[in-house]
Amino acid sequence: MYIAIAGNIGSGKTTLTETLAKRCNAKIYPEDIDNPYLNDFYQDMARWAFNLQVYFLGSRIRQAADILKCGEDLIQDRTVYEDAYIFADNLHEMGLMSSRDFASYMGIFNLAAHLIPQPDLLIYLKASVPTLVSQIQKRGRAYEMSIQEEYLARLNTKYEHWINQIYTGPLVTLDIDKEDFILNPSVIDNLVARIEEIRTTKNGK
Annotated catalytic residues are: 77
Phi, psi of 136 (to 5 degrees): -65, -45
Q: Is 122 helix (H, G, I), strand (E, B) or coil?
A: strand
d(C-alpha 126, C-alpha 160), whole Å: 9
Burial of 140 (0-12, 13-18, 19+ CB in 10 A): exposed
Phi, psi of 180 (to 5 degrees): -85, 105
Phi-psi region of 163 (alpha: psi -120 to 50; beta: other; left: phi over 0): alpha
**Alpha-carbon distance 160 to 177, whole Å?**
15
